A and B are shown apart, each in its own frame.
Chain A
Amino acid sequence: MGAIRFSGLPISTVIREDGMHPAIQGLLTIAIGVSGCVGYFYLSNQFVDKILFPARGPNAGRNINRANMIRPWLFLLPAMLALGVYLAYPVFETLRLSLTDRVAGGGYEWAGLNNYSQMLAEPKFWEAMRNNMLWLIVVPAMSTAFGLLVAQLTDRIRWGNVAKSLIFMPMAISFVGASVIWKLVYDARPPDQDQIGVLNAIYIFFGGTETHTWLTLPFWNNFFLMIVLVWIQTGFAMVILSAALRGIPEETIEAAILDGANPFQIFFKIKVPQIKTTIMVVWTTITIVVLKVFDIVFAMTNGQWETQVLANYMYDKMFRANDWGVGSASAMVIMLLVTPILIWNVRNARKEMQ
């Protein structure tokens, strides 16, 4: 893995000097990685079966049982190691860092909860908290509502699948790419020039006299940023909810028709209640994406004009102010906010699977 990632960096020129083509380098890495995995599972199982607990001799039966008790752990070990190194360790290290301060010239000193109190005293942090709450309410609600609407409306029409593909397409665009697109939508030129920003163009067309730099209008600019994420996440919500809608037994809908329900009653009283758990899973999944939102704000306003959010605040502290203490403290806040929703989401998803 490491080598593949490096091949994109300037280091690859070093490899070129060795005379090895990057593609060959990549293939070689894959070959080594895969054979390494196969080798690990084969050899570790052989070791347990043949050397540690051989299935022969006076204790053959006992040995087989013991080997079988160990075997699941052999298979789990690589995953647990990877999770430990890349997930569990960073969490605890971040917690530790949030309780320390960097000392000029290297090293650190113990800071207790100072970083947290410093952070809580900053208006920018509370602005980020407020904005995150706004995002949290608006984006999942709108994405899920639009997704459900599109899923229902495209269900029975012939070109429904084309419409769905178009609406799903933003899912394939990176957040930064989407931000660039929407920055163009919000672009402003002097009123007497041709507008390249669609929003200003429409505004002028309908009689606006001056153009607006939409992203600098405090408070409302938050919503202009949110629309980008709604635009992306609607596709996701639509795909999942469309599958759920298809899963509703046709007879229950026919029974409702015979019972005299009109299309709205069928939708809200028969269909939506039957896919309630899916709606909640979609809602919470988007909620988690929203809590971590960073790229869009970073690329479009960088938290200026009162659009700061927690993740961008963390980035500001960590990499611009070089304050690992407050940066880590804000990371802990994000984690604390995400965890309950995450647990709830996993539970719901499991319940739905049963």
Chain B
Amino acid sequence: MSELKLTDVAKTYGPVDVLKDINLEIETGELIVFVGPSGCGKSTLLRMIAGLEKISGGTLEIEGQVMNDVPPAQRGIAMVFQSYALYPHMTVRENMAFALKIAKMPAAEIDAAVERAAQILQLEPFLDRLPKALSGGQRQRVAIGRAIVRDPKVYLFDEPLSNLDAALRVATRIEIARLKEAMPGSTMIYVTHDQVEAMTLASRIVVLANKGISQVGTPLELYETPDNEFVAQFIGSPAMNLLPGKISQTGETTTVTLECGGTAVSAIATTADDMGKNVNVGVRPEDFQQTDSAPIMEGVVDFTEALGEVTLLYFAEQEGAHAVIAKLPGIQRNLRGTTVAVTAVPEKVHLFHNGLSMRNRS
């Protein structure tokens, strides 16, 4: 049985639909990451699971029990807020003990739970300090500790790292990954707009867009086999290049004649019905390689960015090829202003028809 199940969940503010038709099952022990552009409703969905927002339609089940109208504290969830949301007038110990005190747990058990959480998070030296005497990273650990002591079925993280500086963000990200490993039975839902966090932490990623779920899958599934153009461009940086063209040969492999003049061969199979269809060919910048034979794309390099490990080539805009970017390995000198031809192996060439991938058509 799944730990948490969303069925046809919807959220409306008056006449405005924010989310609709959300269907998702989360298994025990998973770390699910909600990603999406800002305003896509990912935080709203998390807050609906937490019980801070009303669910306008559909059902939320946790361990098989419908939770739509159950008060937040009785849903078996704990939440870590972006701004930490520590109680400023309570010490670290009191912050972590608050929920247990409210639940009228015996003092000895509260102490034990707090000590255990403090030990996991290395907060023991700070237990009697007020939050204002802690650094950002320590505050975030206290916020996580406050969730741990409650021993919830599901942990909810609402952009927990976005208030930290870059170095601390990486360190805390690794800490969260370790924490997850140390508690294999716990289920976590994590909201972020940072795709690096999503790729590194998630057991499965849920991409939210256009009021619904765009695709659910493991990080590499989303990277290698995106279902649609949105996911293709949202996951990976720089975004996947999309080049319009027409299918000119079908079969086990598909050949597309591109508007920019090139030819692309994809390992995706097509049928004779697809002949002549308008498609977008998707190639990730890092899948491009220089070639002497028939290229997918040939153009003048307008601008380069040498990062040492890779070199980014920005092609000058031409008809049928807007802002195409290629990422070549290593250092590539003196390419700016020259004409470069690039191609990709058929396995790395994606085909999209009407925005949807042609890979998994039934």
Contact = CB atoms under 8 A, between A and B. Distances in A.
Contacts of A261: 73, 98, 102
A258 B73 CA distance: 5
Contacts of B73: 257-261
B24 interface: no
A256 interface: yes
B85 A265 contact: no
B248 interface: no
Interface string B46-87: 000011100000000000000000011110011101111111
A270 B85 CA distance: 11
B52 A260 contact: no
A246 interface: no
A334 to B, nearest CB: 35
Q: For chain B, what secondary structure do more than half of its interface residues adopt (helix, strand, loop), or is it mixed?
A: loop
B81 A251 contact: yes
A254 B83 CA distance: 12
A255 B79 contact: yes
B99 A260 contact: yes
Contacts of A255: 79, 81, 85-87, 146
A273 B81 contact: no
B98 A259 contact: yes
Interface in A218-273: 249, 251-252, 254-261, 265, 269-270, 273
A252 B86 contact: yes
A302 interface: no
Nearest to B47: A254
A118 B90 CA distance: 52
Interface string A190-217: 0000000000000000000000000000
A50 interface: no
A285 interface: no
A250 to B, nearest CB: 9
Contact of B103 (A257, A260, A274, A276): A260
B333 interface: no
Given A257-B73, A259-B73, A259-B98, A274 B79 contact: no
A26 B83 CA distance: 56
Nearest to B102: A260
B88 interface: yes
Contacts of A251: 81-85
B54 to A, nearest CB: 13
B361 interface: no
Interface centre among A254, A255, A256, A257 (most CB of B within 10 A): A255
Contacts of B50: 258
Given A258-B73, A258-B77, A258-B79, A252 B85 contact: yes
Contact of B72 (A249, A252, A258): A258
Contact of B89 (A256, A260, A276): A276
Interface centre among A254, A257, A259, A269 (most CB of B within 10 A): A259
A331 to B, nearest CB: 40
Contact of B87 (A252, A258, A260): A252
Interface string A150-193: 00000000000000000000000000000000000000000000
Contacts of A252: 85-88
B102 A265 contact: yes
A252 B89 CA distance: 11
Contacts of B99: 258-260
A258 B78 contact: yes
Contacts of A258: 50-52, 72-73, 77-79, 99
Contact of A254 (B74, B81, B90, B98): B81
Nearest to A248: B88
A274 B81 contact: no
Nearest to B99: A259
Interface string B85-97: 1111110000000
Contacts of A273: 87, 89-90
A274 B77 CA distance: 26
Contacts of A265: 102
Contacts of A269: 98
A249 B85 CA distance: 8
Contacts of B103: 260
B88 A254 contact: no
Given A251-B83, A251-B85, A252-B86, A259 B52 contact: no
Contact of A257 (B72, B82, B86): B72
Nearest to B104: A260
Nearest to A259: B99
A258 B70 CA distance: 12
B325 to A, nearest CB: 39
Interface string A263-298: 001000110011010000000000000000000000
Contacts of A256: 87, 98
A254 B87 contact: no
Contacts of B86: 252, 255
Given A258-B72, A259-B150, A269-B98, 10 more contacts: A251-B84, A251-B85, A252-B88, A255-B85, A255-B146, A259-B73, A259-B146, A261-B98, A261-B102, A265-B102
29 contacts: A251-B81, A251-B82, A252-B85, A252-B86, A252-B87, A254-B52, A254-B81, A255-B79, A255-B81, A255-B85, A255-B87, A255-B146, A256-B87, A256-B98, A257-B52, A257-B72, A258-B77, A258-B78, A258-B99, A259-B99, A259-B150, A260-B102, A261-B102, A265-B102, A269-B98, A270-B87, A273-B87, A273-B89, A276-B89
Interface of B: 50-52, 71-74, 77-79, 81-90, 98-99, 102-103, 146, 150
**CB-CB nearest 3 A-B residue pairs:** A260-B73, A251-B85, A259-B99
Interface of A: 249, 251-252, 254-261, 265, 269-270, 273-274, 276
